[in-house]
Structure 1
């Protein structure tokens, strides 16, 4: 999101921003029962693999890496459209191709005309397998 605003972050600022976003997800999912209900799709994604209690313990740790459920929450919480891609060669027969294929989209309603403010630039992420995402620029 900082990149889309033209802001450059040093590694420390990047870590601090990531920690802040992780804590925002934790607050919504783990600490606010009323607000949690607005993120049913994320709750389902979380509880497929583990209990909500266990998830809430893990997300509080600084070594926690987010995945689909966190993208679901953050897109809605930050009014941020997010598109996740995979390398084309992973999808095409024979392993050739140099482009990217979109595999998931979150918060698309925030990339179009909004009632308040202007549309948000899409955050584009490259899915590198097993809950690892890189910024795609």
Structure 2
């Protein structure tokens, strides 16, 4: 796991692509591709958002597994409102998502926002614009300020992300 930063002199203010702000001043925290990347990225981002130190590899994995379990529980708790948007049989889906090597996606991000009671924003690199754009936002009912930020790569991988120059917020959940 490593950190690499992209710091460009281009201001992120005033630059747009497809009507969305382009972020050019950010740091990407590489997350291992072990099937936990979404959960690791969100857990890592939660620590950063709350001002806690970045978790080491072991703690990041532990927090990811705890978050995954809570996300699966949240699916069950909200089954009446979530059954319709999961692929296949609901119970099979929830059972599968509890396994540490199973990838997560949009449904898991939505449930994670509820578990954490905080917004999560997903970014993607826009090659033409030369920076990152927002592609999805979850948990806006918990506010829009200082969301947990993750970077989605087109090949199904997530990394933790910091958009530089932002303040830390208070975490509502101790994982």
What is the TM-score of this pair, normalised by structure 2?
0.59
**How far apart, in 1, do the equivalents of 2:114 and 2:122 lie?**
15
- TM-score for the superposition, normalised by structure 1: 0.74
Q: 1:102 aligned to 125, 131, 134, which one?
A: 134
Partner of 2:83: 43
Supply the RMSD in Å over aligned alpha carbons: 1.9
Q: Given the alignment of the two structures, is residue 84 of structure 1 paired with residue 127 of structure 2, yes or no?
A: no
- Any gaps of 5 or more consecutive residues in structure 1? 90-95, 113-119
- For 1:71-108, what per-residue CA distance to the aligned partner results, in whole angstroms no more than 9, with x for missing partners? 1111122111111111111xxxxxx3321111111111
* Greater helix fraction, Structure 1 or Structure 2: 1
Unaligned runs of 5+ in 2: 1-45, 163-175
1:115 maps to none
Q: Is the strand fraction higher in 1 or 2? A: 2
Superposed, which structure 2 residues align to 1:18-97 within 5 Å?
A: 18-30=64-76, 32=77, 35-37=78-80, 40=81, 42-46=82-86, 49-89=87-127, 96-97=128-129
Q: Report how many residues are paired.
A: 116
